[in-house]
Structure 1
């Protein structure tokens, strides 16, 4: 038998982010295209009181921020809203829909930024149709995404400084105007509304809320923070407070220096402020800063969205074709193409305000679930040093999100249709995956996917074997065949081979160092019925044992059955085989974990997986590499290291 071995000692994420760096990262997530592009749209709803919707949006976002700050302390993993929904409700379909809604919001946010790129900021340099510019920009972003983008805290810091500099320049212009008596400060308190004032303020708040989005992404930094339970809530609240304060001053300056009617008709409202001021700031320079801010928002959202599609496909939730990776670039081209096509369609058919409102609507649904999850999980104890929100905060957060999601805020019907269409796409993808999996399984059962074990066609393959069995150190002996069937007493303790039958089999090997003694790591691994609590919380929803068979319930409700072949305490080795429910379907699977000592109070965790068909080795290798990294994180976090 010939084999192919893929060695991958996967390092874990480095815990290098200090509290100060976390603050800048959160601030960079919040600052972006919203304030640069939508201020004029908000002025259309409220007139000169542009600052009021920003103040209301900040307060409402802060309520939801308390829920995120508490939940990230209880569940310190970079999984976000889907993890919290899973922990609270244990409904696989809800968990999937929350994750897909976050994905859809990333796509609509990218389309929003692309439309903003094609507005008056770019017109300072070149004149071109907005839709054409948006489509070209999206395609260029997709090319950059496919080539691979190296992201780091330093790059984020530089972009944050550029974005913040542009906004502080507007604040400085406002301070100068007040000091010199220029502008009309009283105009900032004039509410111009076509209907009832409260409803006008709520309509403006929905758009201002778009500018506050991004704080929810901070929970994905938890695995890279030095002191996550202490520093992340501080950075979350600090970043939101700084961004909200800057937004208030910017909004006040806009109303003071520029008539709301001019702001309403402008695609570059902050550029209007620069031109109206007597401060000598080159308009092209400020336009370039604004373009950087908007482009960065689009690029990061597209990267996030394409990786979410890849991750769902790699987990087998949606068709696995989306999980294909370019060999050289290590980027998912089909996932990127899918996200790009959706973004182009949205940017070509939607307007700036409508796309931004769709993003807000989708995330309001997510935030409602997160706030509700925080209330449901109040019974769970808060770890020492972690933040605990007052009960009224997530309660008011849930109510406010529900209110802002209703048509009472004068939201256009096309926004609801657009959001509904994106969520319907999730159902289509799930259905497609079930159809594909069902056909594969039907072919497998009928023998069409591959020949029977002893067929002449199978015997003529260059390399192969008739069946494979594994040694069992316990009272019973098990064999797992290429047909995916297993038995205990029915199979003798032997190894069946056929010299005239060979098959290519992939053997994937991962090895990591865990900062725990071997006996502590082994205690977790040998507890085969507690994978969902001790080793992969969030990734596995539930576990049941029936003799030597372990059934894993995944977050989307899918069942995976494994045969526990051996639990050897002497050598700290666990051997198992997936016998049903593998995603993608496998002809053969056999794997083992072993815990070895590594210096003083450290361990080496070794994970070896053998599988067929060999063509799926790349996908399985990527998945197991991510899995062993998560295991290391969970093991070390559980020990407080």
Structure 2
């Protein structure tokens, strides 16, 4: 085999018309409202009750509000690139499919492999947080989960399985297997609960704001705002999961960009409001605690609201897991459909990719139930940034692609915005620890072995 033909095989690109037709068995039921609920479900988790406090205390002071706005601006660059891709190519697989079409097969595989890691690890980690919050909440009623069933497999410390983490993931898998209409109704209700609880904190807290607490506004200077922005940037992750729903959306050209950009705008407003109220109630120097919002509520003698906040946190984590399990199942389905993973994953039964959904659900349940994840959570960030970088840069070949004629959303300020977005992703990647890089290289090593052992020969 000549060297150039090997490279040509690695960078084979799928036929666009065929790809656009390949998901016709999936039911188109989702609306803009569903997509924004999916997006908000993924983006607003427990972080909204923790990050504004800890980052204000350690990095930004009351100027945390500006850090959130700055992070949202950076995120919106990538979001616009996602929105253009989603409008031009409404196919399953999100960034994996975009990468395959504009860069070629091997690049699509790398992005897909990064995203599988991101989505599954994110859900597994959140399922363990959910279990901890749940145990905390029921302890208020005098109920306890047996110690042996309350943590990852660690016989030395007497824990064998995190039962609540396993059960919550299986419930979500079961719900998604009943079809998108039911799942979206539950998801919308949970998102509403979460938004009402955040609103309650903002409204009640507003009466206790002391403007003195906002002085000095920038105790750490502009550098503190930049450092804060790089920390809270990760709070916005999850909007990209909206694009995974493309083949199940009504009128994707209009609906997908609205869903992606709408999610980011609403999330930014919510984060900023919570940060303004929190730093107004409590002097920022006191906020470096595990649960700043509950701490602030105790300080203003509203501890009964703390229990309600815990319910909001549980709702937040539940909706985040729904979105991420949904997205990862659609990603595995798309990779299976293209033959890079066994075709079995690409099968559709009753308009749903059951095989992909249950495989993903069971792997996540096992990870959440048995594996200690503390060291691995940073890998979520690197997976996301790799996908963001490829999607940002991919806008340039997308515009030049002969088979793609996009009459929907287009990134303004082309080609400057995609390039700036790409550079920001590289900058944020350079801030991640060496340990994170080593673990991600091991993960990509495994991915390459699978690709050359199976995908390279079986890809359509």
Work out whether the TM-score is over 0.5: yes
CA contact (8 A) 1:310 1:323 kept: yes
Q: Residue in 1 aligned with 2:400?
A: 379
The correspondence for 1:185, drawn from 205, 214, 226, is 214
Q: Which has the higher strand share?
A: 1
**1:33-182 correspondence runs (5 A):** 33-43=46-56, 45-48=58-61, 49-90=63-104, 92-119=105-132, 122-126=135-139, 131=151, 135-144=162-171, 147=174, 149=176, 150=178, 151-152=180-181, 153-178=184-209, 181=210
Give me the whole-angstrom Cα distance separating, in 2, the residues matched to 1:433 and 1:16: 34
Q: Which residue of 1 aligns with 2:17?
A: none
> Who is 1:230 aligned against?
254
**Which residue in 2 is equivalent to 1:365?**
386
Taking structure 2 as the reference length, what is the TM-score of the superposition? 0.76
Check whether the contact 1:122–1:291 (CA below 8 A) recurs between aligned residues. no
Aligned 8 A contact 2:96 2:112 in 1: yes
Do the aligned residues in 1 keep the contact of 2:151 with 2:370 (CA within 8 Å)?
A: no
Q: Does the CA-based 8 Å contact 1:177-1:183 persist in structure 2?
A: no
Which secondary structure state, in structure 1, belongs to the residue aligned with residue 92 of structure 2?
A: coil
1:309-363 Cα distance to aligned partner (Å, 9 max, x none): 4654565434678789999x955655544344444566x1416xx72x4322210
Runs of 4+ in 1 over 6 A off after TM superposition: 127-130, 320-327
Helix, strand or coil: the match of 1:383? coil
* Conservation of the 8 A alpha-carbon contact between 1:64 and 1:371: yes
Residue 446 of structure 2 corresponds to residue 399 of structure 1: no
Please report how far the alpha carbon of residue 119 of structure 1 lies from its aligned counterpart in structure 2 after TM superposition: 4.8
1:16 and 1:212 map into 2 onto residues whose CA distance is 26
What displacement does 1:122 show? Answer: 4.6
Segments of 5+ residues of structure 2 without an aligned counterpart are: 1-22, 153-158
Distance 1:252 1:23, change over 3 A: same
| Counterpart-to-counterpart distance in 2, 1:378 and 1:58 | 25
Check if 1:215 corresponds to 2:239: yes
Contact 2:38–2:319 (8 Å) recurs in 1: no
CA distance in 2, matches of 1:303, 1:400: 28
Using the alignment, how far apart are the partners of 2:26 and 2:312 within structure 1? Answer: 32
Q: Could you tell me how far apart the structure 1 residues matched to 2:337 and 2:259 are?
A: 32
Gaps of 5+ in 1: 1-9, 435-555, 561-641
3-state SS, counterpart of residue 289 of structure 1:
helix
Equivalent-residue separation in structure 2 for 1:39 and 1:119 (angstroms): 21
Give the structure with higher Rg (CA).
1
Any residues of structure 2 matched to 1:201-280 within 5 Å, and which?
A: 201-260=225-284, 262-266=286-290, 268-278=291-301
Cα 1:138/1:426, change in 2 over 3 Å: farther
The question of whether the paired residues in 2 share the 8 Å contact of 1:324 and 1:334 is answered with: no
Summarize deviations over 1:225-249 as a string: whole Å, max 9, x none.
4433233323322221111011111
Q: Residue 122 of structure 1 contacts residue 287 of structure 1 at CA under 8 Å; is this kept in 2? A: no
Q: 1:284 aligns with which of 293, 304, 307?
A: 307
1:26-82: per-residue Cα shift (whole Å, max 9, x none)? 333432233234444434541523323322221111001111121222212233111
TM value normalised by structure 1: 0.57
Moved more, 315-324 or 210-219: 315-324
Report what 2:20 is aligned to.
none
SS of equivalent residue, structure 2 residue 215: helix
Deviation at 1:364, TM superposition (A): 0.8
In 2, are the aligned partners of 1:323 and 1:334 still within 8 Å (CA)? no
